[in-house]
Amino acid sequence: MKVGAVIITMGNRPDELRALLDSVAKQDGDPVEVVVVGNGSPVPDVPEGVRTIELPENLGIPGGRNVGIEAFGPAGRDVDILLFLDDDGLLAGHDTAALCRKAFEADPKLGIVSFRIADPETGVTQRRHVPRLRAADPMRSSRVTTFLGGANAVRTRVLADVGGLPDEFFYAHEETDLAWRALDAGWMIDYRSDMVLYHPTTAPSRHAVYHRMVARNRVWLARRNLPAPLVPVYLGVWLLLTLVRRPSRLALRAWFGGFREGWTTPCGPRRPMKWRTVWRLTRLGRPPVI
């Protein structure tokens, strides 16, 4: 199976980007073809053979990754598997691409693989980086219902089947939107603890727009994908969870602003998942109400 990789960058981490590209080049087996997308910025110097695309404006994470997908032909069809990697990450092993090939070849219904993210200094995996509710043991691989945006592999047939990431999200929850559409089409998602991307431990709230985008896109996610009776349940649960976490007054104001924006702005086409998909999500341990 042919493997490609999409990396988006703001051009502000040239050393980390180069280290990541070196780790991709060292993968066992056939070479991984790489496209680096400068998301509204020039692309730093890259090794020979790495393709680059420089966008005149920042299209956000999903928009930038979609441009990278299309660089491999419509829906990425020139390759069988696409890796999506954060530009400040680093593949821990030389066998990640080979493990991806083996996983997808062994399971024709496997559509997406979520890697384990570990801090390069401590080896610790943050709880939020394990894409399931029972996240206490990050070393346990399992079927899951979503995946990590900057550390994953996607079978390109999934993109041809259900489309790419939602451009309008810009940042936050775009992976879950794609995951739900893929599951609704019959594909499966695996979390694999043996496929590791080293990434420094960070807090998602480091992004200035974090609270607004998370709330807005949560509403959009529900409006786009959930059966109508589940929309208020899902959003009600997340409203309660947000209040229980007791964010600062400034963060809460931004969150409610985003929540309101999610109801009053277009969210893209609505394609509610089938009720059997709701049941599948429930059996996998994460019913789409949380």
Single-letter residue type at 252: L
By the 10 Å C-beta count (0-12 exposed, 13-18 middle, 19+ buried), 288 is classed as buried
Tell me the torsion sign for CA atoms 182, 81, 214, 58.
negative
Residue 125's pLDDT is 97
E strands in 77-162: 81-85, 90-91, 110-118, 142-144, 151-155
Q: Which of 264, 272, 259 is nearest to 230 (CA)?
A: 272
- Beta strand ranges found along 167-210 (DSSP E): 188-198
Q: What integer pLDDT is reported at residue 27 of this predicted model?
A: 98
CA 112 and chain centroid, separation: 10
- The two counts, helices (H) then strands (E), for the chain are 9, 9
Torsion of CA 129, 135, 254, 240, to 10 degrees: 170
The pTM of this model reads 0.96
Residue-wise pLDDT for 59-105, tens only, equals 999 999 999 999 999 999 999 999 999 999 999 999 999 999 999 99
pLDDT tens for each residue of 198-250: 999 887 765 568 999 999 999 999 999 999 999 999 999 999 999 999 989 99
| Cβ contacts of 100 within 8 Å, gap of 6 or more | 3, 81, 83, 113, 153, 195
